[in-house]
Amino acid sequence: MKAISFEAIYVLWLREVKAFVRARSRIIGNLVQPFFFMAILGIGFKSSMRFTPPGFERIDYLQFLVPGLVGMSILFSSMFAGLSILWDRQFGFLREIMVAPVSRLSLVLGRVAGGMTTTLLQALSILLVAHVFGFRIKGVAEFFFSLVLMILIGVGFVGMGVAFASKMEDMHGFQIVMNFIIMPIFFLSGALFPLEGLPSWLSFLMYLDPLTYGVDALRKVMLGISHFPVAVDLSILFSFCAVMLTLGSIFFSQCEV
């Protein structure tokens, strides 16, 4: 078994970051949707005295919404990071890196690191926009803890995207499948509404959603309120990351070019 090549990881990471920085439309597009969520849903419900999230009486809906939008941004950008594998397969770059004298694990880690970095940058841009709307994280320590949580969420879903992309060949089919998977994950995560007071069947589905625990942990760190203990959130996030990285590595090693 070949050793992990940190040089290969760095090269693939740098390639993903440069591609993201040069794609201004991608950056702007990632900001537009959360902006409208904050401007329409957040301010709309905040100004309405009829709506207060159950169990979250100490905060308004805009404060409640922001951690969910951060999770949404990470989910969307992470899963579609796998699309670069299909692009590389079509244009021949995937064949070039697959024959390189480095382990497949190094290639997967490089892609995951690049995808995680770009998703983290987009999540931070969401927080910057939220700051304009009056959202504030409690302190510096909480901010850095939030970064750790964002990284965990990003790594897990980038690994999932790599796993799916490694088993598919059609880019259009990949996007359809990702939309089919992403939307239930997002809506079942509690990003838009609290987990309290829901029907038992819906609560069961939400408990199966890994993003639920990521959003819940972000709310705990940013707002001081959560549905689960942080230890539960972290244990599930770490387990999710380990499983997705393992599956991504296995499927990518079997990827045909």
What type of residue sits at position 135?
Answer: F
Q: Three-class SS of residue 57?
A: coil
In this predicted structure, what is the pLDDT of residue 234?
94
In this predicted structure, what is the pLDDT of residue 49?
46
Q: Three-class SS of residue 100?
A: coil
Long-range contacts of 87-95, Cβ-Cβ distance < 8 Å, separation of 24 or more: 87/171, 89/169, 89/255, 89/257, 90/171, 94/255, 94/257, 95/257
In this predicted structure, what is the pLDDT of residue 4?
74
Long-range contacts of 220-224, Cβ-Cβ distance < 8 Å, separation of 24 or more: 221/137, 221/142, 221/145, 221/146, 221/149, 222/66, 222/67, 222/137, 222/138, 222/142, 222/146, 223/59, 223/63, 223/64, 223/67, 223/138, 224/138
* Contact present, 169 and 89 (Cβ < 8 Å): yes
Q: What is the pTM of this model?
A: 0.85
pLDDT along the chain (257 residues), means of 10: 73 82 71 73 61 61 85 82 72 67 76 84 84 81 90 89 78 75 88 82 90 92 87 93 87 70
